[in-house]
Amino acid sequence: MAIAYRSIFRPDLFAGQTIIVTGGGTGIGRAVAHELASLGAHVVLAARTAENLERVETEIEEAGGAASHFVCNIREEEQVSALFDFVLAERKVIHGLVNNAGGQFISPAEMISLKGWRAVVETNLTGTFLMCREAFNRCMNEQGGAIVNMLIEMWRGFPGMAHSAAARAGIENLTKTLAVEWARAGVRVNAVAPGLISSSGLERYPEAVRPMIAQNIRDIPMKRMGTEAEVSAAIVFLLSPAAAFISGESIKIDGAGSLWRKTWEVPEHGNAPAGYEGFGAE
């Protein structure tokens, strides 16, 4: 059965555009890919696992959208270059890039090996840089474009994920830097910073982490997790003409979680606005 995605934006918003979504085979990246395709974009899915990419491509096509995929490890410069070779050969031009791919694992800082540190930093920070640089040098320097990078809720540090917090802080600074350097070419570079999101990524964490996640939900003023669709909507906005004068910014999608330091007690309540869901929405 075809999986329909109902976006909050008008259906032809990205008609005729080609947009790359890294990490597009699962979670937030999958939701972003579906939403962009539902708005008329040809979405190029990129990630390391072919099976996931093929599944999402099929989902999008069955829903009436257009997509293609390319297996790529964004940590590897040669693979990133090959990805852009593929896209430009097939599509001629790239209008947007969503640097969603990334990863991390939970560990106290003192127990993170050098190998583990490098893997997380190279995937998140170096991979994002390579994708941005290639997009600019191969296409956007001549015809402009929009880039959206992925952060986390790391504004007060991130105990248990020192590697990812350091890498994402680097991405935020990279975002601001590129927004200034590439403004001359009409390229906008922004970022989104999701808080605790109900996504397939949570399934990879061990069972021992579940109580911590439950506590984190209680610590969010909205008293719930965010949805993949809510992150996707912010990304789509930043890619859209509505954000034409926005560059170098980071949008927090965290239910005000990054603002609350427990200096003000928020009682238990059920008054948060209902979560927006893109799949199966009526």
* pLDDT tens profile 112-161: 999 999 999 999 999 999 999 999 999 999 999 999 999 999 898 888 88
User: What is the pLDDT, as a whole number, of residue 279?
Assistant: 86
Kindly tell me if the per-residue pLDDT of 168 is higher than 80.
Answer: yes
User: What is the pLDDT, as a whole number, of residue 106?
Assistant: 85
User: What is the pLDDT, as a whole number, of residue 76?
Assistant: 97
Kindly tell me if the per-residue pLDDT of 188 is higher than 90.
Answer: yes
Q: What is the mean pLDDT of residues 19-45?
A: 97
Q: What is the mean pLDDT of residues 209-218?
A: 79
The architecture in CATH of the region 18-253 reads: 3-Layer(aba) Sandwich (3.40)
Residue 177 CB partners (closer than 8 Å, separation 6+): none
102 φ/ψ angles, rounded to the nearest 5 degrees: 175, -175
User: What is the pLDDT, as a whole number, of residue 205?
Assistant: 67
Kindly tell me if the per-residue pLDDT of 7 is higher than 80.
Answer: yes
* pLDDT tens profile 214-250: 888 888 999 999 999 999 999 999 999 999 999 999 9
Indicate the domain borders of the chain: 18-253
Residue 88 CB partners (closer than 8 Å, separation 6+): 94, 138, 139
Kindly tell me if the per-residue pLDDT of 258 is higher than 80.
Answer: yes
Q: How confident is the model at residue 204 (pLDDT cuts 50, 70, 90)?
A: low
Could you give the dihedral angle defined by the CA atoms of residues 225, 201, 64 and 234, in that order, rounded to the nearest 10 degrees?
A: 50
User: What is the overall mean pLDDT for the chain?
Assistant: 93
- How many whole angstroms separate alpha carbon 241 and alpha carbon 275? 25
User: What is the pLDDT, as a whole number, of residue 140?
Assistant: 98
Q: Among 1-5, 192-196, 206-210, 257-261, which is the least confidently predicted range?
A: 206-210
User: What is the pLDDT, as a whole number, of residue 1?
Assistant: 66
Q: What is the mean pLDDT of residues 65-87?
A: 98
